[in-house]
Amino acid sequence: MIKLIMDKIKEIREYLYSELCNLESKDKHNRDLMRKKILQLNLLLEMLENCEQELTKYEIMKNTELKLDCIETQEYPL
C-alpha cells in the first residue's frame, strides 16, 4: 500500500513540475496571477515531500517493530 502511495506522490510531483515549467515559460502578461500559481504549486510540492518523508518514517518504524517482534519471539518462544 505504501508503495502505491509513493508511486502516486511521484506521479503528482511530475505533474506539478510540468505545470511549473509551463507557467514559467508562458507570456508573463499577468505576473501577479502567475506568482500566486507558482507559490501554490511550490507549496503542494513541499506538502508532497513532507508526506513522502512521513511515509518513509512510518515504513521504517513498521519494519523495526516487525524485527523486534521476530527477535522477541525467537528469544522467548511460547
Question: Would you state the pLDDT for residue 78?
Answer: 55
> pLDDT tens, 32-44?
777 788 788 888 8
Q: What is the pTM of this model?
A: 0.60
Contact criterion met (CB below 8 Å) for 30 and 72: no
> pLDDT tens, 21-34?
777 656 666 777 77
Q: What is the DSSP string of 20-71?
A: HHHHHHS--TTHHHHHHHHHHHHHHHHHHHHHHHHHHHHHHHHHHHHHHHHH
